Amino acid sequence: MRPGRLIGRIVLAFAGFMAVFPLLWTALNALKNNVDIITRVPRLVFTPTWANIGYILGRDSVLTGLYNSVVACGSAVVIGIVLGLPAAYAVARYPNRWAGDIQFFVLSLRFLPPVAVAIPLMVIWLQVGLYDTLPALIITYSLLTISVIMWLAIPAFQSVPKEIEEAAFVDGYGAYSVFWRIALPVAARSLAGAVAFSFVLVWNEFLIALMLSSSNAKTLPIVASELSQQGMNVPWGILNASVVLLSLPPLLFLGVLSGFLNSVFRQKKT
Amino acid sequence: MARRTSLPVTFVVPTIAILLVLSMVPTLYAIVIALQNRELSTPDYSWVWLSNFVDLFLDRRFLNAVWVSVKWEIVTVVATMVVAIGLGVLMFEVASPRLRNVYCLLFIIPVLLPRVSAAFVWKFAYHPLYGIATYPYRLLTGGLIFDPLSKPGTALFAVASVDVWQWGLFFAVIVLKLLETLPPQPIEAARLDHARRWQIHAYVTLPMLKAPLISLMFVKMIESLRSFDLIYVMTRGGPGVATETLDMYAFSQGFIESGKVSYASAMAVLMMIATVITFTMLWKRVQA
């Protein structure tokens, strides 16, 4: 058993290394001059430069992309919270004969191929005159955030002990204040995970943003992907810096999401 | 909790109404466009009914895209599940609780990255001359060039490896958490019967987790269909059409090459029908 254990540990350590090393390497490359990146033998020792990061943060297109991403994703997530959380609560706590169908409908929105949604929406937004605007992007993303938040919040609300809510009813609370004062705060941790998850999903979204924007409403992923097409001289350092900038916001949620996973699986145990 | 209150109606009806409008309008419109001959360059169009669909089945590039998509699904789903179960079991067996937490955090990082970022990270890594992933090959062969992304035989696997890097590691965390929720008694019993560790997992723990593992696979099948960004950044469907999946082909027909929106939409409608039917059937099975 001993050698098997050792091999297992080595494999695991290698997997852990593989999980983060490519990203760390990219971050390192973001601090390098082009000469230090374009080498046959990878260079670990080099004189760091802030030029790439400075260039990225000084570009209007990047700042516009960042602004668009924050506004579009932020608004869609807020709409998702406002519409998704109450609906999830009602489905979880007041089950009727449609509850199963509603859950399946919400899940089935995830089956729709993004191209199948993006092509008609592009034609529709062109006709309405909203093509390449943030409102069009926000409305489209809301479909995503509402359904994801609902999907993840239904089990979160179901796991709130019924007794607490019953006790509140006995104390004279109405249905709405039970939702506000009891269900929401008690489920808050899991709900935060669901919201964070929906944010990461729309922040990382690419195809819909690519098809629904041409110049004004481009989000950060689109801007980043365009940087790679700047002529023959690939600005490797700049590209690496933009990858790092794009990746930072979702990584901020690492803690929330891993806490969410833990709470989801702890509930299953009981 | 059968109280008389307006809450279910006021909470559910507006949300579901909005979701229905937001999803049905584009879906129905996709079908309408697919029955016409719209192009981006001209505003004129007429009804051509099913001729787009007939053309599709005579289009060899479309048939190739179907085949590439099927290959992509199989490769990514199978590899993700193998990596996830392998690493999940390994963590369960050889890592201390503390180390498990560290690995869990590390393994979640790749899936959080935007696919565009992940694609760029690995596109650099696979660079034949300067890439970090191809460096060992250059070192061992004394400078020979290995260019996985531009060879038709390896491109699909090179892109798939990035998908597995993102999802396989993440699913390993879930597999570990699932293993941790299992009751310990059956494992103890098997151990008393002198079962080897791999036997315990193959015959006891994994069969107990059959239902959640199938759900996990189901989720991965759906997510694998959304690989456009990865392919778009890494290969653009190339070399040739070696990595051109259905959504990539629909995109290039509709936007890059010819602006044939209707033709692209016909393809999207076929994808939609295929996925809705397949996943609805699978879902009913999983639930049953």
Instruction: Give the mean pLDDT of chain B.
Output: 90
Which chain B residues are within 8 Å of A83, Cβ to Cβ? Answer: 14-15, 18
pTM of the model: 0.90
Q: What is the pLDDT of residues B256-267, one digit of tens each?
A: 777 888 999 999
- Distance between CA atoms of B98 and B103, rounded to whole angstroms? 9
Instruction: Return mean pLDDT, chain A.
Output: 88
Tell me how far apart the alpha carbons of residues B170 and B112 are, in angstroms, rounded to a whole number.
9
Neighbour-count burial of B287, counting CB atoms closer than 10 A to its CB (0-12 exposed, 13-18 middle, 19+ buried): exposed
Average pLDDT of the residues in B269-285: 88
CB-based burial of residue B124 (10 Å sphere; 0-12 exposed, 13-18 middle, 19+ buried)?
buried
Q: Across residues A217-231, what is the average pLDDT?
A: 81
B273 shares contact with chain A (CB less than 8 Å)? no
Q: Which residues of B touch A122 (CB under 8 A)?
A: 261
Instruction: Using alpha carbons, select from B66, B23, B238 the residue that is nearest to residue B152.
Output: B238
Tell whether domain A6-267 is in CATH 1.10.3720.10.
yes
Res A270: pLDDT: 43
A154 touches chain B (CB under 8 A): no
**How distant, in Å, are the alpha carbons of A60, B45, B148 from that of A234?**
19, 41, 19
Interface touch A87/B16, C-beta < 8 Å: yes
In Å, how far from its chain's centre is CA A26? 21
Tell which of A111, A154, A164, A207 to mutate to test the B interface (max B CBs under 10 Å): A111
Give the mean pLDDT of B273-286.
86
Distance CA B73, CA B75 (A): 6
Nearest Cβ partner for A120 among B105, B107, B265: B265
Does the beta-carbon distance from B250 to A115 stay under 8 Å? Answer: yes
Say which range, A41-50, A198-207, A250-259, B270-279, has the weakest mean pLDDT: A41-50
pLDDT category, B74, cuts 50, 70, 90?
A: very high
Q: Where do the domains of chain B lie, and which CATH numbers do they carry?
A: 50-287 (1.10.3720.10)
Chain B (3-22) residues lying within 8 Å, Cβ to Cβ, of chain A? 3, 5-8, 10-12, 14-16, 18-19, 22
d(CA B138, CA B144): 5
Asked whether residue B63 carries a pLDDT value surpassing 80, the answer given is: yes
B125 touches chain A (CB under 8 A): yes
Q: Does A93 touch chain B (CB under 8 A)?
A: yes
Which residues lie closer than 8 Å to A14 by C-beta, 6 or more apart?
none
B112: chain A residues, CB-CB within 8 Å: 200, 247, 250-251, 253-254, 257
Share of chain A above pLDDT 70, in %: 96
Q: Distance (Å, rounded) from C-alpha A165 to C-alpha A162?
A: 5
B3 band by pLDDT with thresholds 50, 70 and 90: low
Q: Is the pLDDT of residue A63 over 60?
A: yes
Phi and psi torsions of B47, nearest 5°: -85, 125
3-state secondary structure of B245: coil
Q: Report which residue type is found at B279.
A: F
* Alpha helix (H) residue ranges in chain B: 7-34, 51-58, 60-94, 97-112, 115-125, 135-141, 152-181, 185-192, 197-200, 206-208, 210-224, 228-234, 246-251, 261-287
Over residues A152-157, the mean pLDDT reads 91
A35 touches chain B (CB under 8 A): no
Q: Average pLDDT of B150-155?
A: 89
**Subunit contact A41:B95, Cβ cutoff 8 A:** no
The residue-averaged pLDDT of A221-233 equals: 75
Contacts of B32 by beta carbon, 8 Å cutoff, 6+ apart: A120
Binary contact (B5, A175; C-beta < 8 A): yes
| Structure-block tokens of residue B60 | 């060899």
Query: Given CA atoms A244, A250, A256, A259 in this order, what sign does their dihedral have?
Result: negative
**What is the pLDDT averaged over residues A233-256?**
86
Q: pLDDT per residue over B167-203, tens digit each? A: 999 999 999 999 998 888 888 888 888 888 888 899 8
Residue B280 has pLDDT above 50, yes or no: yes
pLDDT exceeds cutoff 80 at B120:
yes
Return d(Cα B175, Cα A270) in angstroms, integer: 18
Average pLDDT over residues A58-66: 89
Confirm or reject contact between B149 and chain A (CB < 8 A): no
pLDDT of B1 higher than 60: no
**Residue of A179 and A59 predicted with greater confidence:** A179
Determine the Cα–Cα distance for residues B263 and B228; give it in Å rounded to an integer: 18
pLDDT-based confidence at A231, cuts 50/70/90? low
State whether residue A270 sits within 8 Å of chain B by CB.
Answer: no
